[in-house]
Amino acid sequence: MTTTQHEAFTVHRPADPVVVPLPLPPAGHFIAGAFVPGSADSPRIDVVNPATEEVIASIHAGTAGDVDTAVAAAVEAQKSWRNTTPKERADVLNLIANIIEANRAAFEAIESANTGKPPAVAEDDVTSTIDTFRFMAGASRTLTSMAGGDYATDHTSVILREPVGVVGVITPWNYPLLMAAWKIAPILAAGNSIVLKPSEQTPLSTLKLAEVLAGRIPDGILNVVTGQGRIVGQRLSEHPDIALVALTGSVTSGQAVAETAGRSVKRVHLELGGKAPVVVFPDADLQAAAAGVRNAGFWNAGQDCGAACRVLVHEAVAEEFTRYLVNEVGTLVVGAPDSGADVEIGPMISRAHFERVKESLADARAAGLTIALGGSVLEGTGYFIEPTVITDVPSRAPIATHEIFGPVVTVETFSSTEEAVRRANESPYGLSASVWTRDSSLTLRVPKQLDFGTVWVNSHLVLACEVPWGGFKGSGYGRDLSLYALDDYSRTKHVMINHGA
């Protein structure tokens, strides 16, 4: 077996760029069912296409006052929305799914232009977004509470499931529309209303959603305020009329939100970072494992909290596996989204993030680590970085412990199952992991010992709306998707009726 000599990575760019105008949404906050301008003196934030570095839009930097106006609208809308039946709410969620489907092309174009993601990834995002609304529409109609009963003499207990109230939502830039859907669908399904702050870097698909839903869903149940985390996100975390704040983002932002929310004893739901170990046992199908890492380590250019980015492979097969992995990753196609259907890897989201990934690669090089593939930035316009494989990585090396959030996979080795489990768990994160083996005795024993919210066996990054997603440890708490998300966005009330003589 040999390592294929792969061609140097280059950035595919459209030969003859066709300039199709983007179906941009209005700039402004979406409050009580309509777009409103930001405060007169609020600054604007440029929105950049990371493949071309062009400014494609500009949004309002919201203020605490804008948040207060949106919360007031959400409080008002809550009064009737909370009393709708599950069927009525499901009808609204199904309508949202249908409207997104009818506008699919616009959402895909906006998402690719704002994040640089390849068409295949944008298409998958929109498909998953639609499915999230459809799943939550159906799931919310199956919700039950514990059956009533007499637990004290002459007293009957009834357990009610209620909405929590107004929920503040803060979303990240890596899957802007999909991460918004993971919050909006269960939060509305559970009878709450929302004030949502999209990432200041990628607000366009969320604003587009507001635009296409305006007048089609009850006013005020979904409000959007654009702007910076430390102002708009901060106000959402402290606002007295917000019952719960749900954030998907970095650990630092999660800590800030939890700290602020703690002052008003607000509930918090946190989906934070990850550094997923991929544990490859010696009996595994090594080619399948390598192909799995090619897909799950580099999907969305590795800007994925569940990315298969940290391989732990048994030393007996490390060389063979690494050869397969380098061959696989060497075939990835890097490029701008409009450069062809075969593009698989887009740019980093921003200049700042590009510089961060570049710095991590420079540190790895300076530490003398083996760069088996890639390892450099790609010159020219756009924030492109070569798909990279770093091998012979020692235990606890910084590149293998902190989240890079780019197209970078590291390979470490282990010599026993116990060591593999210990090393995999030696991480501040606990979001997801995978185990690759054909030994059926390991397929449940090892996942049970791993401290991660999702563990795949012979697979990685396969998600479904029916099953929960969320982390342990530094990756946060709370669950997205599944009936567990509906539980997270509900509250339980006990009513006890004395029917004694």
Give the x-and-dash track for 414-433 against ligand NAD (CB under 6 A).
Answer: -----------------x--
From the list 25, 62, 249, 335, which residue makes contact with ligand NAD (rule: CB under 6 A)? 249
- Scanning 93-101, 268-276, 363-371, 379-387 for contacts with ligand NAD by CB under 6 A, the matching segment is 268-276
Encode burial over 62-97: b for 16+ CB neighbours within 10 A, e otherwise. Answer: bbbebbebbbbbbbebbeebbebebeebbebbeebb
Q: Which two tokens stand for residue 65?
A: 């006052």
Pattern of binders to ligand NAD over 205-244, x per CB under 6 A?
A: -----------------------xxx--xx--x-------
Q: Yes or no: say if 483 and 283 are a contact pair by the CB < 8 Å rule.
A: no
Question: What is the helix (H) or strand (E) element at residue 498, kind and residue range?
Answer: strand 490-498
Among 271, 328, 344, 488, binds ligand NAD (CB under 6 A): 271
Catalytic: which of 108, 200, 305, 412? 305
Residue nearer to ligand NAD on the CB measure, 176 or 220: 176
Side chain identity at 455, as an amino acid letter? V
Q: Output the smallest distance, CB 200 to ligand NAD, in A.
A: 5
User: Can you tell me the distance from the alpha carbon of 441 to that of 435, in angstroms, rounded to the nearest whole number?
Assistant: 12
- The window from 208-216, 248-256, 339-347, 406-414 that contacts ligand NAD (CB under 6 A) reads 248-256
For residues 169 and 196, is the Cβ–Cβ distance under 8 A? yes
Interaction residues for ligand NAD, span 398-417 (CB under 6 A): 403, 405
Q: Burial-class residue 475 by CB neighbours within 10 Å (0-12, 13-18, 19+).
A: buried
Q: How far is the CB of 117 from ligand NAD (least distance, A)?
A: 13
Residue 224 dihedral angles phi and psi, to the nearest 5°: -125, 125
**Is residue 171 within the footprint of ligand NAD (CB under 6 A)?**
yes
Q: Which region holds residue 481: left if phi is over 0, alpha if psi is between -120 and 50, else beta? A: left
Q: Are strands 222-224 and 193-197 parallel, antiparallel or unpaired?
A: parallel
197 near ligand NAD, rule: CB under 6 A: yes
33 forms part of the interface with ligand NAD (CB under 6 A): no
Catalytic-role residue among 108, 111, 271, 403: 271
The verdict on 479 binding ligand NAD (CB under 6 A) reads no
Q: Is 45 in the site for ligand NAD (CB under 6 A)?
A: no
**∠ at Cα 456 (455, 459), nearest 5°?**
155
Q: Whole-number minimum distance, CB 172 to ligand NAD, in Å?
A: 3
Least separation in angstroms between CB 429 and ligand NAD = 8
**Residue 386: active-site member:** no
Binding flag, residue 179, ligand NAD (CB under 6 A): yes
Interface with ligand NAD: number of residues (CB under 6 A):
32
Q: Could you give the dihedral angle defined by the CA atoms of residues 206, 209, 214 and 219, in that order, rounded to the nearest 10 degrees?
A: -60
Angle CA 379–326–13, to nearest 5: 30
Q: Could you give phi then psi for residue 357, rounded to 5 degrees? A: -65, -40
The residues, any chain, with a CB within 8 Å of residue 147's CB and separated by 6 or more, are none
User: Using the 8-state DSSP alphabet, how is residue 344 labeled?
Assistant: -
Cα dihedral sign, 104-107-113-115: negative
DSSP E strands in 228-323: the ranges are: 244-248, 267-271, 277-280, 310-314
Specify the DSSP element, H or E, that contains 373: strand 370-373
**Closer to ligand NAD by Cβ: residue 237 or 391:** 237
DSSP run (H or E) holding 358: helix 351-366
- Tokens 């440029």 — which residue? 46
279 touches ligand NAD (CB under 6 A):
no
Q: Which range binds ligand NAD by CB under 6 A, 37-45, 269-277, 284-292, 338-346?
A: 269-277
- Amino acid identity of residue 456, one-letter, is W
For the question of residue 465 being annotated catalytic, the response is no
Q: Does 273 bind ligand NAD (CB under 6 A)?
A: yes
C-alpha to C-alpha distance for 481 and 462, rounded to whole angstroms: 13
Distance in Å, CB of 77 to ligand NAD, minimum: 22
Interacting positions 291-320 with ligand NAD (CB under 6 A): 305
Task: Assess 200 for contact with ligand NAD (CB under 6 A).
Answer: yes
| Spatial separation of the C-alpha atoms in residues 306 and 431, rounded to whole Å | 7
Binding mask 79-118 for ligand NAD (x = CB under 6 A): ----------------------------------------
Nearer to ligand NAD (CB atom), residue 268 or residue 372:
268
| From candidates 116, 119, 172, 347, binder to ligand NAD by CB under 6 A | 172
The reply on whether position 257 binds ligand NAD by CB under 6 A is yes
Least Å distance, CB 236 to ligand NAD, is 7
Please give the positions annotated as active site.
271, 305
Binding stretches for ligand NAD (CB under 6 A)? 170-174, 179, 197, 199-200, 228-230, 233-234, 237, 247-250, 253, 256-257, 271-274, 305, 403, 405, 431, 471, 475
